Structure 1
Amino acid sequence: MRRNLSIILSSSMLLLSAWCQAQEIAKGRVYHDLNNNGKWDKKELGIANVAVSNGSAVVLTDANGAYQLPVGDDNIIFVIKPSGYTLPFDSDNLAKSYYIHKPKGSPTDLQYAGVAPTGPLPKTIDFGLTEAKEADQFRMLVFGDPQAYTEQELTFFNRAIVDEVVGIKNVAFGLSLGDLVGDDLSLHPGYKASIARIGLPWYNLKGNHDMNFDVDADSLSDETFEANFGPANYAFNYGKVHFIVLDNVRYPNPRTGRGYLGGFRKEQLDFVENDLKHVAKDRLVVLAFHIPLDHRNGDTFRAEDRQRLFDLLKEYPNTLSLSAHMHTQTQHFYGKTDGWPQEKPHHEYNAGTTSGDWYSGQLDERGVPMATMRDGTPNGYAFIDFDAHKYRIRYQASGKDSTYQINIFNPKVVGQGKRTRAAIFANFFMGHHGSTVEFSIDGGAWSKMMPTRSNDPAYLALLYPWDNLDTLLPGRRPTDAVLSAHLWRVGLPVDLAIGEHEIRVRAEDDYGKMHEAVSTYVIQPTKNYPALK
């Protein structure tokens, strides 16, 4: 018996030794890059307690700024930027915060090239940081789904979105929430060049249209993304906010082998768990990914993956999730019945998209499609203002004044006192059915409008010409309407004096700010039907 146990132990030690030999150890340091030359010089001191990761494990640097991490034959080593420091950025304003270790490179039979062979592991992988003042109050810019399928659509993106924010001030950095392009990954460089024009440090995440589709394992679906943007899963700090960026598109679908499914691989959630071990509980934790967590009975997002993520956040009272993908705009609030472990619901902002309804619709005065989304939200982008663990989100419609937060739809002419089903509809883009929306006629008393889960008639009016005109319209027909999650309705008053009347709608957002919109309609004398003969 003892002899058998000795054999088993010897075999186990041999297997462990073989495993350790297969795993190399990446070594390096995080240091003060005083002269900004991107190289560690002997006079430059290391920075202690900075997190560094291999995509799963997370370690802190020692007193000299040194770290060690195990790596296999497909790892990206990256530094998690601490608050009060800045990373070096390349000519496209993308962070140079990582080293790709793929000795043999990506598979060579991909339609779009991945990472070239990186060769043996370097003796040292160092990350230089420079000190920077970071206030607790700062602003970020958020893009959902730029998603250009062609060079022409990339031009639309530049005209409708990028041109509006080039040189913008008082914004710390930007983030795109996936679907940077539309399947043609050769457009990634054009997207990067467009973003570089803005002049801000920029972060990116992978969407379902940024994938390598010619692979048979989810771990290989981001090969081209990694070559163009670096790790698909990473984190960084700014002020008192900790950001975690994740690829939550699983391809091929692990259930069917076809298409994709929202969810995470085990090592991704291991990364989140290990990362959070070094994040103070009073910090605001902002998660960013492409597909919303709203799993709809698990049909679009794996329930068990969402549950583990929620469980990992149970000790963090201040959280926010950012997603895109849907080409609508929705505020999700997850509570106990959704598996969220806290009393305070978890807020997910499912952002409207820069491409709107996939660059569809008639052309506006800028020569770009109107691209209003199927729920009546105009295409655009968002600003998020942070103040320590608090945040405020504001949506900015492309080509519109910043005060344009509500769209009113109503008939322009009605008959006096004539029975009608005509109504006033208000689409409050950042609202949800917990918001208070009120209307007033001709400066009278304010009354509540009723939330309605229906198609936005203003969007249907945009869609109507495409199916009813007998001439061909330029551009592409918008997609069919979907139920809007931020629409309100009230019957239109017709028992007023003949003439023009003013409609005012006001709504309070979740941050206490009031928004107003104005429309008008005319009441005319009622015309009787001609007598029947």
Structure 2
Amino acid sequence: MLCPSSINLYKTMKLQLNVLFGISLLFLAVGSYAQQKASGIVYHDQNQNGKKDRTEAGIAGVPVSNGVDVVLTDNYGKYELNVGDDDIIFVIKPSGYKAPVDKHNLPQSYYIHKPGGSPTNLEYAGVAPTGPLPKSIDFPLLKNTEADRFRILVFGDPQAYTAQEMTYFNRAIVDEVIGVKDVAFGISLGDLVGDDLSLHPSYKESIARIGLPWYNLKGNHDMNYDVSADSLSDETFEANFGPANYAFNYGKVHFIVLDNVRYPNPRTGRGYLGGFRKEQLDFIENDLKHVPEDRLVVLAFHIPLDHRNGDTFRAEDRQRLFDLLKDYPNTLSLSAHMHTQTQHFYRREEGWHRDKPHHEYNAGTTSGDWYSGELDSRGVPKATMRDGTPNGYAFIEFNQAQYRIRYQASGRDTSYQINLFHPKVVGQGKRSRAAIFANFFMGHHGNTVEYAIDGGEWKKMIPVRTTDPAYHAILYPWDNLDTLIPGRRPTDATVSMHLWRIALPIDLPVGEHQIRVRATDDYGFSHEASSSYRIEPAKNYPPLTPTSGRTN
């Protein structure tokens, strides 16, 4: 066993080696970037053998990128791009085509060029040396019927830290969606695993069971932490999933997938920060040159753009992103990371350039509150998130430039969109602060939420920013029982951004009373929840027996 001083020396030498490796890669890239050209053909693979046969024609006008530059194939499907010694060449899939997929249903439309491979002293292996640049890097595409109206499946943060938690992910999430119909593809919004990157293969096997083409992006728990440069933090991700930044088209929608986790933090050198490198923003700029302005542009990344005065996301990076999108009236961002669910709307005062706000859906997570809480009937943790949202996943339906997002709670009926919390019994006319709380999982305070008692008049509930008392009820046994509960205590509650409140009516006849709550979402769909409570004759404190004297 190494003594502490030896361990520190080892870590220092390892960090220095990574620094030297990063510097050498930088100089190699600078020295060779202008001298090397990657070229090849994007072609229609009619017989689906993965090789370009003499009779198979190239496809004109297909964007191809090296992660910064974007060029279009010529009339014969040919392209040519500058390439360095740490680049990935990829096709930006056009509408009407699909990329071949591997045994895990991951699209294979890229080529990694790392002649020297990734650093060899990483805890989790990166890309093996790829050797000299091939003479021709060809990309097969298959014709595919893509309707303007289609659905996708969205996972936030599967984030299993152990093999057991991967089993929970399979049982609570994957098993529910195996063989799902009328879904074009799926995407996971980062944190595919929880720091142990050796679980990436198990995650891929889990995703393969669903039977859909699946896109992935990198989260802060998918990184190589033992590196000194952000450009090296995705070495294992690249080996397992391909490029961390890419784009593709489906129907009339253009998708841009980005790694927005900066590690190490460029401000402090410690931890991570949300943001983009210059070359990523340059890629977006070059990519959008080939995207018609009437298309819906969907961006997917891990950390939400909400920068909270710049302490969680670099404001200057978000602003340049907004600048690049100023000519696109139809946009949507998808993020995860927070293990809550929130609808963000960025307006002119936040640097957005249009009257119509930019909508960011910060998705609830499949792991919920990190696989915590008591076990449900399936033998998996209930994992309700800190804002009262159940763990689950989302379906997004697109129709040209329009979209609708629907959240699906794991293990629940599709109608479960609102959770109600209130006392079960109250005293008639007894003054109290008893209230009905409605947690509308996909809501925000711009939505209308109403209630009715015993079939009476619908009245508006009041939006509130506080913690969900239903979540506090989940925490209560963990903090008050004198017997140990199996599993892990959920984390403390956080303010819910989709909670409404109204005082519980108490001046009603003794007996059972029905509560109905309805909410209208951003897409015009109405959702309802119902419950009941009982009013009993009020009980007062017993009278005190008068005392004969004063007690000091």
For residue 242 of structure 1, what is the aligned residue in structure 2? Answer: 254
- Structure 2 residue corresponding to 1:415, chosen from 417, 421, 427: 427
- Structure 2 residue corresponding to 1:61, chosen from 73, 76, 82: 73
Deviation at 1:531, TM superposition (A): 1.1
Listed as ranges, the matches of 1:120-159 within 5 Å are 120-159=132-171
1:328 aligns with 2:340: yes
Q: CA RMSD in A?
A: 1.0
1:344 aligned counterpart, secondary structure:
coil
- Structure 2 residue corresponding to 1:175, chosen from 158, 167, 187: 187
Give the letter for the 1:77 counterpart. Answer: I
Give me the whole-angstrom Cα distance separating, in 2, the residues matched to 1:150 and 1:96: 28
Give me the whole-angstrom Cα distance separating, in 2, the residues matched to 1:358 and 1:325: 11
Give the letter for the 1:66 counterpart. Answer: K
Listed as ranges, the matches of 1:34-113 within 5 Å are 34-113=46-125
2:466 aligned counterpart, secondary structure:
coil
Please identify runs of 4+ aligned residues in structure 1 that moved more than 3 A.
18-23
Write out per-residue CA displacement over residues 348-395 of structure 1, whole angstroms, 9 at most, x where no aligned residue. Answer: 000000000000000000000000000000000000000000000000
Give me the whole-angstrom Cα distance separating, in 2, the residues matched to 1:487 and 1:26: 54
Give me the whole-angstrom Cα distance separating, in 1, the residues matched to 2:361 and 2:415: 20
For residue 511 of structure 1, what is the aligned residue in structure 2? Answer: 523
Write out per-residue CA displacement over residues 117-152 of structure 1, whole angstroms, 9 at most, x where no aligned residue. Answer: 000000000001111110000000000000000000
For residue 478 of structure 1, what is the aligned residue in structure 2? Answer: 490
1:356 aligned counterpart, secondary structure:
coil
Give me the whole-angstrom Cα distance separating, in 1, the residues matched to 2:414 and 2:61: 42
2:489 aligned counterpart, secondary structure:
coil
Give the letter for the 2:219 counterpart. Answer: G
For residue 439 of structure 1, what is the aligned residue in structure 2? Answer: 451
For residue 229 of structure 1, what is the aligned residue in structure 2? Answer: 241
Write out per-residue CA displacement over residues 94-130 of structure 1, whole angstroms, 9 at most, x where no aligned residue. Answer: 0010000000000000000000000000000000111
For residue 274 of structure 1, what is the aligned residue in structure 2? Answer: 286
1:465 aligns with 2:477: yes
Write out per-residue CA displacement over residues 288-325 of structure 1, whole angstroms, 9 at most, x where no aligned residue. Answer: 00000000000000000000000000000000000000
Give me the whole-angstrom Cα distance separating, in 2, the residues matched to 1:326 and 1:59: 36
**2:39–2:79 Cα contact (<8 Å) kept:** yes
- Structure 1 residue corresponding to 2:266, chosen from 254, 262, 273: 254
1:318 aligns with 2:335: no
For residue 367 of structure 2, what is the aligned residue in structure 1? Answer: 355
- Structure 2 residue corresponding to 1:286, chosen from 287, 293, 298: 298
Give me the whole-angstrom Cα distance separating, in 2, the residues matched to 1:531 and 1:350: 54
- Structure 1 residue corresponding to 2:41, chosen from 29, 37, 48: 29
Give the letter for the 1:172 counterpart. Answer: A
1:486 aligned counterpart, secondary structure:
strand
Give the letter for the 1:424 counterpart. Answer: I
**2:153–2:186 Cα contact (<8 Å) kept:** yes
1:187 aligned counterpart, secondary structure:
helix
Write out per-residue CA displacement over residues 385-412 of structure 1, whole angstroms, 9 at most, x where no aligned residue. Answer: 0000000000000000000000000000
Give me the whole-angstrom Cα distance separating, in 2, the residues matched to 1:57 and 1:22: 13
Query: Residue 20 and residue 354 in structure 1: after superposition, are their counterparts in 2 closer, same or farther (change >3 A)?
Result: closer
Deviation at 1:21, TM superposition (A): 7.3
Write out per-residue CA displacement over residues 477-509 of structure 1, whole angstroms, 9 at most, x where no aligned residue. Answer: 000000000000000001111111010000000
1:340 aligns with 2:352: yes
Give me the whole-angstrom Cα distance separating, in 2, the residues matched to 1:71 and 1:488: 54
Number of residue equivalences: 517
For residue 7 of structure 1, what is the aligned residue in structure 2? Answer: none
Query: Residue 137 and residue 165 in structure 1: after superposition, are their counterparts in 2 closer, same or farther (change >3 A)?
Result: same
Deviation at 1:527, TM superposition (A): 1.5
Deviation at 1:218, TM superposition (A): 0.2
**2:33–2:85 Cα contact (<8 Å) kept:** no
Write out per-residue CA displacement over residues 232-283 of structure 1, whole angstroms, 9 at most, x where no aligned residue. Answer: 0000000000000000000000000000000000100000000000000000
Query: Residue 372 and residue 114 in structure 1: after superposition, are their counterparts in 2 closer, same or farther (change >3 A)?
Result: same
2:451 aligned counterpart, secondary structure:
strand
For residue 209 of structure 2, what is the aligned residue in structure 1? Answer: 197
1:187 aligns with 2:195: no
Give me the whole-angstrom Cα distance separating, in 1, the residues matched to 2:526 and 2:33: 63
- Structure 2 residue corresponding to 1:500, chosen from 507, 512, 523: 512
1:155 aligned counterpart, secondary structure:
helix
Deviation at 1:23, TM superposition (A): 3.3
1:367 aligns with 2:387: no
Write out per-residue CA displacement over residues 181-217 of structure 1, whole angstroms, 9 at most, x where no aligned residue. Answer: 0000000000000000000000000000000000000
Give me the whole-angstrom Cα distance separating, in 2, the residues matched to 1:528 and 1:172: 62
Write out per-residue CA displacement over residues 46-75 of structure 1, whole angstroms, 9 at most, x where no aligned residue. Answer: 000000000000000000000000111100
Deviation at 1:529, TM superposition (A): 1.4
Percent of residue pairs identical: 79
- Structure 2 residue corresponding to 1:393, chosen from 396, 400, 405: 405
Give the letter for the 1:333 counterpart. Answer: F
Query: Residue 235 and residue 525 in structure 1: after superposition, are their counterparts in 2 closer, same or farther (change >3 A)?
Result: same
Give me the whole-angstrom Cα distance separating, in 1, the residues matched to 2:366 and 2:179: 18
1:209 aligns with 2:209: no
For residue 5 of structure 1, what is the aligned residue in structure 2? Answer: none
Write out per-residue CA displacement over residues 430-486 of structure 1, whole angstroms, 9 at most, x where no aligned residue. Answer: 000111000000000000000000000000000011000000001100000000000
Unaligned runs of 5+ in 1: 1-17
Give the letter for the 1:45 counterpart. Answer: A
Deviation at 1:20, TM superposition (A): 6.4
Give me the whole-angstrom Cα distance separating, in 2, the residues matched to 1:138 and 1:144: 20
TM-score, normalization: structure 2? 0.93
For residue 315 of structure 2, what is the aligned residue in structure 1? Answer: 303
